[in-house]
Amino acid sequence: MCTYLDVITACGTVVAAISIISAFMLYRIQKRDEYLSKVRNALQRLSNDMDELDSLLNFELAYELSSALTYSKSTEYCLKKIFEVCNSSIRSKQEQNQEQNQDQIKKALGVFGVSFHDTIANRYTSLISDIKQASTVFYPDYKGLFRFSKACTTLMRNVFVNYKRLLLDEDVLAQIIVNNLMDRSEPWESFEDFQKDFLDHLISLVEIGRIKHSQKDVDCLNKLVEIVYSCHIELSSKEWKKLARKNRKIVMQPYESITTVTGDLREAEKCFCSIMSHDAVTQYASLVQTIEIANTESE
């Protein structure tokens, strides 16, 4: 037979159990809210960093990278030899075809290299690293955002790598010299004047290359960032939790099997469709296709 004391003890046990469960539930809610706050902050950083990366892809970056190459010690040594070849050719009024000139200039170029670590270049690479680091919070609950961030960093890194590859291409540099610098009636008065002319043509080449090959990709990618940001940032905590459950069920291709930026963007889209409007889905697909076509044409 239960005594009054037994009833009080049982009630106390129940109250204690409820308190423990309540504390645990509050703890889980608190941790979930903290996690979602980190996810939202990472999404905001992705948007902000991509805006800044886009702003860095301008004349200033072209000037900085081109200057780093033009005034590096190894390039300066090569350019002095080319300066002498060009002035000698101009003074003697030699008639040579472009192929002969280009071969001669390539021999004078020899082996050169430069390390691109100036202010803007450092900031550019730092922003890419920042996106990579921030995006780790997306995985595994929001693997669509994680895959999308990977596509962003890959494309922006490729743009920078292509800048450097263009600047270090001997054939390209030889063409600049033959087509632009040797085609003048008077020799240069000083090596410094020759360097300045070389730098001007190098900057033009990099800027034309960016506008022709890279800027369209970057513009499309930034529009994709806007779409992805807009459809995620206003989600409530409940909607974020629901999205995480859906994301876990979605089967995506392994990272190593996707070799293109557009492939990663399409994989990411699988996780976005449930929260995108029909118009957003259509625009997203169209922008990805534009990037794909642009890259196919440039190959």
Write out pLDDT tens, residues 204-251. 888 887 877 788 899 999 999 999 999 999 899 999 999 999 999 999
Minimum mean pLDDT range among 33-37, 253-257, 284-288, 292-296: 292-296
Which residues are CB-contacts of 60 (< 8 A; sequence separation ≥ 6)? 120
Query: Does the CA dihedral 18-24-30-35 come out positive or negative?
Result: negative
For residue 250 the two structure tokens come to 């979605």
Residue 11 predicted with pLDDT over 70: no
* More confidently predicted of 21 and 128: 128
How many structural domains comprise the chain? 1
Residue 293 lies in a domain: yes
- d(CA 95, CA 214) in angstroms, rounded, equals 37
Minimum mean pLDDT range among 27-31, 80-84, 132-136, 179-183: 27-31
Range(s) of the domain holding residue 48: 41-298
pLDDT tier for residue 19 given thresholds of 50, 70 and 90: low
| pLDDT > 70: percent of the chain | 81
- d(CA 97, CA 282) in angstroms, rounded, equals 52
Residue 196 lies in a domain: yes
CB distance 166 to 62 below 8 Å: no
Cβ-in-10-Å burial (0-12, 13-18, 19+) of 190 comes to exposed
Residue 30 lies in a domain: no
Residue 234 lies in a domain: yes
Residue 17 lies in a domain: no
Residue 24 lies in a domain: no
Identify the three-state secondary structure at position 212: helix
Residues 187-202 have pLDDT tens digits of 889 999 999 999 998 8
pLDDT tier for residue 24 given thresholds of 50, 70 and 90: very low
Residue 27 predicted with pLDDT over 50: no
Residue 11 lies in a domain: no
Q: Say how many C-beta atoms besides its own lie within 10 A of residue 83's C-beta.
A: 23
Residue 15 lies in a domain: no
Average predicted confidence (pLDDT) for the chain: 84
Look at residue 277 in the predicted model and tell me its pLDDT.
95
